Amino acid sequence: MDDQQLTEALEHIQERLQLSVDATITKTQGIKARVEKSQSLIETIKDNIAYVVGLPATLGGAFGFLWDSSGDEAALTHKVTMLEEAVAGLKAENDLLGGGTKNFAIDMSAVPSGSVTVIIVASIIVVSVGLLAIYQRRRKKR
């Protein structure tokens, strides 16, 4: 075999390989296009299912709530108004517990027990926190 025959054989092999590679690329691109089309179709189906399933729930939830609450809303508003008036009256008299005795005020000096109540409650809180701190230290030592 001479050099020219080897060169021709090599070119022939390269052409065959190139054709094979081109065919493989073409097949791969075709498969890729089909896969993308299938994925797009699946996404469209999922979107449509979500829309179809969610639409009745959305409409039923929104309009159903309005329908159910429209009758109760007036009664609830009336009850809330009455409650606000009653609380305002009790606050004005500082009689939140009822019984006609002044038992609540923002200014503790206006309450019959005066500021002693505040001091007692604060003392109980401080002692409780101290006891919890001692308990935690003993627990960590074990």
pLDDT in tens, 19-66: 777 778 888 888 888 888 888 888 888 877 777 777 666 666 656 555
Reply yes or no on whether the pLDDT at 131 is more than 80.
yes
Task: Give the span between the Cα atoms of 60 and 54, in whole angstroms.
Answer: 10
59 and 4 in a single domain? The answer is yes
Give CA angle at 20 (18, 25), nearest 5°: 90
Task: Give the span between the Cα atoms of 16 and 9, in whole angstroms.
Answer: 11
pTM above 0.85, yes or no: no
Average pLDDT of the chain?
75
Q: Last residue of a domain, which of 43, 68, 93?
A: 68
Q: Last residue of a domain, which of 22, 45, 68?
A: 68
DSSP state of 142: -
98 in a domain, yes or no? Answer: no
Q: What distances in angstroms separate CA 97 from CA 20, 46, 82, 91, 105, one per listed residue?
A: 94, 59, 17, 10, 12
91 in a domain, yes or no? Answer: no
Task: Give the span between the Cα atoms of 111 and 103, in whole angstroms.
Answer: 6
64 and 117 in a single domain? The answer is no
User: With contact defined as beta carbons under 8 Å apart, do 102 and 94 qualify?
Assistant: yes
97 in a domain, yes or no? Answer: no
| pLDDT on residue 128 | 94
61 and 114 in a single domain? The answer is no
Which residue segment(s) compose the domain that 8 sits in? 1-68
